[in-house]
Homo-oligomer: A and B are copies of this chain.
Amino acid sequence: MKATMKRLFGVSIIFATLWVGLGVPVFAADDPLPSWNEGPAKQTIMQFVKETTYQDSPKFVPPEARIATFDQDGTLWVEHPMYTQVLYCLDRVPAVVKAKPELKNVGPFKTVLSGNREAMAKFTMKDLEKILVATLTGMPVDEFQVEVKKWLAEAKDPRWNRPYTELTYLPMQEVLKYLRANGYKTYIVTGGGQDFVRVYSERVYGIPPEHVVGTAGGTKYGYAKHGRPFLTKEPKLLLNDDNAGKPEGIHLMIGRRPYAAFGNSIGDRQMLEYTKAGHGARLSMLVLHDDAKREYAYGPAQGLPDTKVGTFTQALYDEAKKQGWTVISMRKDWKRIFAFE
């Protein structure tokens, strides 16, 4: 019996490989979204893939046009209580102050060094900007990548006591793989720093650096001694990849309108509108964090607690319903949230 199963399994792998190679949609008897409960959200995703990839479908999308974009924070991984990149920046403050001692008694840097979390929670946007500029710019690109890699290997989320890169949502990882298996190119389109996310996107999401669109600053080309050229991260904002900046960033970096877009907050509204406004089948989806027990609960849509990190307003919820976007309930739609569960 076991030998038979193994043989069958081997054959199904060969078939799946052939199918992918031939550009034929993959709809094995195997469920491509096993961490999703049966329901309208799962059905919508499967229906969209079917409609856009079956050769005879009136809504067939040619492979080269299959673009799907994903917000990161709160859509692909945990963003509460604070964005991972901001935690990185706060952790970098001691090293920055060591290199520039004149910052030791300056506003937000002093607060971070004091470790007073209550005071940090009251930071204005201007305070935060000072910290971001000091910790994300001024160094060579290569050096920044090394620092981020090192931090990601060591830092842990206190609630789960795991590296931040393990706090990705398994159901969304399945969507990424399912779309790619059906010829979609998957892009991250994040308000977070493009250079930051590119350090781990391939390893964590299977998304190569060139498919990461994010908030981006300029770089400056220069020469080290012996003439070796290198790029330095400049404190000059080129793309604020949030809100209207998302469709603008998609045009700049991809140059095509996505067929599918996933987000979770008001910062994703314009990307979802822009996606849905295209011709043919378009998929716009929003993750609603309504699961305080397994993850977090915040909105304030649907009476959930209000938040400044990943705000999902009732107006956004109403627009989703009106425009035919699908709201994904973490609590109801996701069987499992993390791979380590």
Residues on A facing B (Cβ under 8 Å): 21, 64, 67, 141, 185, 194-195, 198, 202, 208-210, 212, 216, 218-221, 228-229, 231, 238-239, 244, 247-248, 251-256, 270, 273-274, 277
Cα A246 to Cα B212 in complex, Å, equals: 19
Q: Which residues of B contact A67 (CB under 8 A)?
A: 210
Report copies per complex. Answer: 2
Known: A209-B254, A252-B216. A247 touches B221 (CB 8 A): yes
In the complex, chain B residues whose CB is within 8 Å of the CB of A198: 255
- In Å, the complex CA distance between A244 and B218 comes to 12
- A229 & B277 in contact (Cβ 8 Å cutoff): yes
Which one, B212, B229, B238, contacts A255 given CB within 8 A?
Answer: B212
Given A198-B255, A255-B198 in contact, is the A231-B208 Cβ separation under 8 Å? no
Q: List 16 A-B contacts (CB under 8 A).
A: A185-B210, A195-B255, A198-B255, A209-B254, A210-B256, A219-B252, A220-B248, A221-B247, A228-B277, A229-B247, A229-B273, A229-B274, A229-B277, A238-B238, A238-B239, A253-B253
Residue in B21, B64, B239, B247 whose CB lies within 8 Å of A231? B247
- Which residues of the other chain, B, contact A216 by a CB distance below 8 angstroms? 252
Contact of A251 among B219, B239, B253, B256 (CB under 8 A): B219
Q: Which residues of B contact A277 (CB under 8 A)?
A: 228-229
Task: Take A202-B64, A229-B277, A244-B221 as given contacts and tell me if A238 and B252 are in contact as well, using a CB distance cutoff of 8 Å.
Answer: yes
The 5 closest A-B pairs by CB, nearest first: A209-B255, A221-B244, A210-B254, A198-B255, A219-B248
